[in-house]
Structure 1
């Protein structure tokens, strides 16, 4: 019997790559997406469960699987307020992690951000740091935290700032060597490969991966 992968945030930049790669991965015979609205995807391994993220407790019984991948994330601009941003980037992932533990998941893997710290003066980074801290306190069977730098790839939503930054990094990436290598932009497909590799190879209780480590793990 193969494993079951649960993917939350499977319509985002990394999430889409993760779904695609998990469906082709030999270790998984079932891939479950938690989605607000069903997507036009069809695959014998794939299941889509429509949920209301504001009512996650209603779906606890269904979240049974081996590896849980969380790619939830938004921007403060899109969320509309700091409170709404915290709900999506902190509260929802934390609730999903608690549920994963309760249902006996083997591993929980999540994307946060480079610079995540509870001591950060930047609200975005501080929320990500608080999430990491609270996840560590849960006592999950295995917790893998990925902190990528600027993500590149084909987004379904328009983020002009990230689009311009991605173009800039295409020019300067080769200059970022040695200790600066971790600041290079990284493709979403590489992050997805790194997450799948870690889920199937690592046995560590708690691990945090910087962007340069992610790039190594996600080599094709």
Structure 2
């Protein structure tokens, strides 16, 4: 097991998975300090919580000041929310890379990032291609361990609802039992299930290198 009382750095603390991660990290006695990076107000108070208010434009300036053991990256948006492919690239590629580079430079024990099912740098789908590219390029950094989590459709309550996602969630709850075998990784999964899996993995024993966790591994079924 990795030594206790570590410092966790969390980017995306107000998102669906990030909000669950924050709750779990604050409740976890193995972490003595949690540094949460967010551009929106975090409605939480805890003795070990340190909030750094950052915008997407200032993250690269803040990153060089960060030091931590376990880095959790739950940043993510959609092209519709971002407003353009360029803006999407900044959120889902440039900022995770900036954090990964800082983690590698300062001796982080591991970097854990939320990606997506179907991520591939050769995908013809822009969203999936960007996710695959950031996975690939983070893997080139000198990170002792890189954990990539690839959930499919996420269930749970967001601060900002994405158009059509609630309806899809209802539909996927019915479809989930029909996705068997190799298709199980495409089952919808609750954001808190992903958060729980990320912390479980962070406190597990893994060989150095890149580890990919799909929906089957995260759900524990």
Match of 1:192 in 2: 195
Aligned alpha-carbon RMSD (Å):
1.3
C-alpha separation in 2, matches of 1:145 and 1:57: 22
Match of 1:212 in 2: 216
1:147 to 146, 150, 160: 150
Q: Which one has the bigger helix percentage?
A: 1
Shift of 1:102: 1.1
Structure 2 unmatched ranges of 5 or more? none
C-alpha separation in 1, matches of 2:143 and 2:214: 20
Asked if the contact 1:38/1:48 (under 8 Å) is kept, the reply is no
Which 4+ residue blocks in structure 1 deviate beyond 6 angstroms?
none
Structure 1 unmatched ranges of 5 or more? none
Moved more, 12-21 or 35-44: 35-44
TM-score of the aligned structures, taking structure 1 as reference length:
0.94
Asked if the contact 1:37/1:50 (under 8 Å) is kept, the reply is yes
3-state SS of paired residue (1:4): strand
C-alpha separation in 1, matches of 2:125 and 2:85: 12
Match of 2:92 in 1: 89
C-alpha separation in 2, matches of 1:60 and 1:167: 38
